[in-house]
Amino acid sequence: MKVIRAKSAGFCWGVERAIQVAREEAKGGERTVYTDGPLIHNRQMMEALGQEDIREVGDYQSNSKLNIQKQDQKEAVVVVRAHGISPQRRKYLTGLGLPFRDGTCPDVGIIAGKIKSHAEKGFDVVIFGDPKHPEVIGLVGYANGQGHVISNETDLGNLPDFKGGVVMVSQSTMFTNEFKKLSGILSEKYPDLIIFDTICGATKERQSDLVQLVEEGADVIVVIGGKHSANTKKLAKLASSYDKPTYHIETAEDLDSEIFKSFNCAGVTAGASTPEFIIRSVCKKLESF
């Protein structure tokens, strides 16, 4: 089977940076690194990082109290993952009395800065994203009680009537076309709406590269990434919209040769938290079919 791999498949720079921060702090296992929730949404990579004593504590949404074992002999440090956290969560983590490193993706930090500066000026802030996603939960914390999360047109219609200025941003990993559509609708009601397209470049590139796979002749799409990874699930959804059979898998072990018998060319892409060694193994197995 012929395999076409998307150029953007795999770690985005924000995830690479967060992993680098955690590994720098771990010093090859000399120190214990506690990440506030999973550092990345990939079970296999988290297991690999565990060999360097990088441990996930807390929960996916960074809401729970951290259970850090004080009896550990090694020095410990707390690391914030790429999704970022709210100011309230930051205050809690820095209050634990352990060294603290921030692995927040700079792109997410820019969104937080835009929200904070406009909220302080009295603007209501509309955030396009998943209200249960840790990035969005963190961003809402910067809105000073004036944040409103929307995911679709229904949510848009349920927004309160704003009396002052309104600004709209997006979670960094959303669909560009959906953001343009919803921001356009909101601007009809609020002509002075300030719109910041905060969908990150890596996400846009990943989405456009998927279209390229289809144009290059892929008759089946394989999307690699954690089952709970938001950006991976969006990639799979986008691939399905092109009427191509789409399979969201985590590793090469999920591939069934019988399923791929009727296909000649597989297009392969991967979410922002998928390590290179998994992508290579999937491509190799597909080529063997």
Catalytic positions, written as ranges: 135
Q: Which residues pair with 224 in a beta bridge?
A: 249, 270
d(CA 173, CA 167) in angstroms, rounded, equals 19
Beta strands in 24-165 (DSSP E): 32-36, 54-57, 76-80, 100-102, 124-128, 147-150
Instruction: Please list the alpha-helical segments (H only) found in 35-103.
Output: 43-50, 87-94
Listed residue (193, 188, 238, 229) closest to 211, CA to CA: 238
d(CA 45, CA 32) in angstroms, rounded, equals 17
* Cα-to-chain-centroid distance, residue 71: 33
Q: Residue 90: CB partners within 8 Å, gap ≥ 6?
A: 80
Evaluate whether 21 touches 101 at the Cβ level (below 8 Å).
yes
d(CA 48, CA 53) in angstroms, rounded, equals 9
| 26, burial (CB in 10 Å: exposed 0-12, middle 13-18, buried 19+) | buried
